[in-house]
């Protein structure tokens, strides 16, 4: 069964600290993996996208890594800010259809305290 | 910032009412999607469209219907709302670039409460 599991479910950190969020998936065949940020009451916004051949990709203070062999990804946030408080969703796409079926994780709820 | 809009943002209605959730995008995207998301849970695809006059049901069974008469507009209709329909509904679109790296852009969502 194709699944995307994220950990931790929730995380609280102090402003300025770093953190790492995890994503494990069983989706096969694999096309790409995206990390989205979803602010409360808003729609998800894409942060990074990685294909099979990419190991790391950065977007400002966000750095995503991908190990396609172990089917694991991480999202590292550096020098956290209050505005980083949001849900971070890992989304994996397969190659099994024209639509490029997306599998969503439940997200990690990150809270940054001052 | 994605140019995809949803109205209303919040809706509280009584059981049995007919409602239409609006979604429009100005990016010229051919593909559009509706997702349902409950708090702390993953997004579930309920409808999608490849283009005008094309609509398909998604993975999650839904009593809603959709239409795609214009490229930019993809409304979702519930003929008779029930409390079990209470949820957040997210609309998304993706562009003509196609290929493996096509990204979906999401609207702000509609939070629906059926009493």
**Residue B69 in contact with residue B52, Cβ under 8 Å?**
yes
pLDDT at A27 over 60: yes
Cβ within 8 Å, pair A43-B106: yes
From the list B41, B90, B102, the residue facing A100 with the nearest CB is B102
Strands B10-13 and B110-114, by their bridges, are parallel
Which residues on adjacent β-strands are paired with residue B94?
B31
Mutant choice from B2, B10, B36, B43 vs A, greatest count of A C-beta within 10 A: B43
Cis peptide before A8 (omega within 30 of 0): yes
Place A1 in a pLDDT band, splitting at 50, 70 and 90.
confident
Cβ within 8 Å, pair B103-A31: no
**Residue B20 in contact with residue B76, Cβ under 8 Å?**
yes
**Residue A80 in contact with residue A72, Cβ under 8 Å?**
no
- Contact list, A8 vs chain B (CB under 8 Å): none
Tell me what the mean pLDDT of segment A95-99 comes to.
60
- pLDDT computed for residue B58 by the predictor: 87
Mutant choice from B101, B108, B110 vs A, greatest count of A C-beta within 10 A: B101
- Chain A residue with Cα closest to B91: A43
pLDDT tens digits along A55-90:
999 999 999 999 999 999 999 999 999 999 999 999
- Contact list, A93 vs chain B (CB under 8 Å): 100
Q: What is the pLDDT along chain B (115 residues), one digit of tens a residue?
A: 569 999 999 999 999 999 999 999 998 899 999 999 998 899 999 999 989 999 999 887 778 999 999 999 999 999 999 999 999 999 999 876 555 457 889 999 999 999 9
Tokens of A7: 């950990």
Helix, strand, coil content of chain B in percent (nearest 5):
5, 50, 50
**Residue A28 in contact with residue A52, Cβ under 8 Å?**
no
Cβ within 8 Å, pair B43-A104: yes
Distance separating alpha carbons of residues B19 and B16, to the nearest angstrom: 9
Tell me what the mean pLDDT of segment A1-12 comes to.
93
Distance separating alpha carbons of residues A43 and A92, to the nearest angstrom: 17
- pLDDT computed for residue A94 by the predictor: 85
What is the percent of chain A with per-residue pLDDT over 70, rounded to a whole number? 96
Tokens of B69: 């008469």
Cβ within 8 Å, pair A102-B104: yes
Taking Cα atoms as reference points, which of B78, B90, B6, B7 lies closest to residue B43?
B90
- Chain A residue with Cα closest to B102: A100
Cis peptide before B8 (omega within 30 of 0): yes
Distance separating alpha carbons of residues A59 and A42, to the nearest angstrom: 20
Question: Can you say whether residue B28 is alpha, beta or left, with left for phi > 0 and alpha for psi between -120 and 50 degrees?
Answer: left
Tokens of B59: 């993975």
Tell me what the mean pLDDT of segment A28-46 comes to.
91
- pLDDT computed for residue B100 by the predictor: 47
């Amino acid at each position: 069964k194709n699944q995307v599991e994220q950990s931790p479910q929730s995380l609280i950190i102090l402003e300025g600290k770093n953190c790492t969020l995890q994503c494990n998936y069983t989706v096969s065949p694999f096309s790409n993996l995206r990390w989205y940020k979803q602010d409360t009451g808003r729609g998800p916004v894409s942060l990074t996208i990685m294909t099979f051949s990419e190991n790391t990709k950065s977007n400002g203070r966000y750095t995503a890594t991908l190990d396609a062999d172990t089917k694991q990804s991480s999202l590292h946030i550096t020098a956290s800010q209050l505005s980083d408080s949001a849900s971070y969703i890992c989304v994996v796409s397969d190659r099994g259809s024209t639509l490029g079926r997306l599998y969503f994780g439940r997200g990690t709820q990150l809270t940054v305290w001052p | 910032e994605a140019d995809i809009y949803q109205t209303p943002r919040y809706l509280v209605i009584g059981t049995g009412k007919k409602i239409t959730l609006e979604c429009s995008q100005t990016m010229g995207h051919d593909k559009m999607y509706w997702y349902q998301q409950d708090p702390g849970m993953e997004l579930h695809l309920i409808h999608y469209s490849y283009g005008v006059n094309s609509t398909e049901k998604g993975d999650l069974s839904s009593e809603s219907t959709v239409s795609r008469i214009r490229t930019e507009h993809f409304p979702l209709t519930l003929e008779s709302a029930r409390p079990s329909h209470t949820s957040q509904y997210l609309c998304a679109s993706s562009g003509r670039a196609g290929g493996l790296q096509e990204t979906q852009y999401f609207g702000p969502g509609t939070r629906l409460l059926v009493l």
